[in-house]
Amino acid sequence: MRKRKKEEKKGAAEWLTTYSDMVTLLLCFFVLLFSFSNIDAQKFRSIMSSFQGGAGVLQGGTAMDIPENLAGDYNVDEDELEKLKGVIEEYAESIDLENKITLTTEERGLVIRFADSVFFDSGKADIKPESKKILHYVAELLNRNEFKEKQIKVEGHTDSDPIYRSITYPTNWELSAIRATNVLRYLVEVESIDGERISSSGYSYYRPIAPNDTKENKAKNRRVDIVILRTSEEALEP
């Protein structure tokens, strides 16, 4: 009878040890979550993605592989984007286009937003000759040493008004995509941006920045965005 009680007591102790190990692991996990909270949400997703495929704490007790210079790289990346933003804002003011060119720093990177009238005539996708000097200036910046490794996305957008009587652009899909592609081609073929670091997309009217309910709002939605991606976003590109 005493032997059975000893065995039961020993089994309970082993169970408690396993349980305490699990609680300790959970505590470590939530400490990591809290420590990452000072980085932005996108950076946290990037960190978590770096864990995938690596050894975890539940596989033989091996610790997760966290890049040692992660926080430093993030700060440098932020400084570079802010520097680029300031330079282009000054340029837009110097050519009296501060109302046509806007810059915002978002979770995925620096967005250089051009009203469609900067590059194109209404309903067309050919870049206006007088606007090419703007692309030339932007390309010169992007080819500088501190930015030449940055990934770039060119995105075309329209308003919700349908296109009438156009064989070339039957819908806003074609118009937005070809506008973005023409900007990309100019940057690659004329300004020597490396084709491996740039891509283009057309979104039609499905990603508006304002409701398509007034003339002014529709003008805001007709745009071309050149997005300079953060380092954390570049890892998600094909």
Q: How many CB atoms lie within 10 A of CB 135?
A: 20
- The pLDDT of residue 165 is 81
Question: Are both 21 and 80 inside the same structural domain?
Answer: no
Question: Are both 7 and 34 inside the same structural domain?
Answer: yes
- The pLDDT of residue 236 is 76
DSSP 111-130: EEEEEHHHH--TT--SPPGG
Tell me the H-state helices in the chain.
Answer: 2-36, 41-51, 70-94, 116-119, 132-142, 172-185, 215-221, 231-234
Give the residue, 104 or 21, on which the prediction is more confident: 104
Identify the CA nearest to 147 among candidates 119, 121, 96, 109. 109
pLDDT of 227 higher than 70? yes
Q: How far apart are CA 198 and CA 60, in angstroms?
A: 42
Give the residue, 42 or 132, on which the prediction is more confident: 132
Domain boundary among 67, 91, 109: 67
Question: Are both 100 and 168 inside the same structural domain?
Answer: yes
Q: Which domain holds residue 207?
A: 72-234
- The pLDDT of residue 54 is 43
Q: How far apart are CA 25 and CA 144, in angstroms?
A: 46
189-203 pLDDT, tens digit per residue, is 999 999 999 999 999
Identify the CA nearest to 223 among candidates 93, 87, 140, 103. 103
Question: Are both 221 and 181 inside the same structural domain?
Answer: yes
Q: How far apart are CA 220 and CA 2, in angstroms?
A: 83
Give the residue, 135 or 237, on which the prediction is more confident: 135
Domain boundary among 50, 67, 84: 67
pLDDT of 19 higher than 80? no
pLDDT of 27 higher than 80? no
- Choose the weakest-confidence range: 9-13, 23-27, 126-130: 9-13
Query: Average per-residue pLDDT in the chain?
Result: 82
Q: How far apart are CA 25 and CA 61, in angstroms?
A: 10
Domain boundary among 52, 67, 82: 67
Question: Are both 62 and 80 inside the same structural domain?
Answer: no
Q: How far apart are CA 111 and CA 228, in angstroms?
A: 6
Residues 6+ apart with CB under 8 A from 166: 123
Q: How far apart are CA 228 and CA 178, in angstroms?
A: 20
SS3 62: coil
Q: How much is the pTM?
A: 0.69
Question: Are both 151 and 35 inside the same structural domain?
Answer: no
* Token duo for residue 154: 């060119």
How many structural domains comprise the chain? 2
- The pLDDT of residue 93 is 93
The mean pLDDT of 66-80, rounded to a whole number, is 57
pLDDT of 150 higher than 60? yes
- Choose the weakest-confidence range: 12-21, 35-44, 222-231: 35-44
Q: How far apart are CA 53 and CA 50, in angstroms?
A: 8
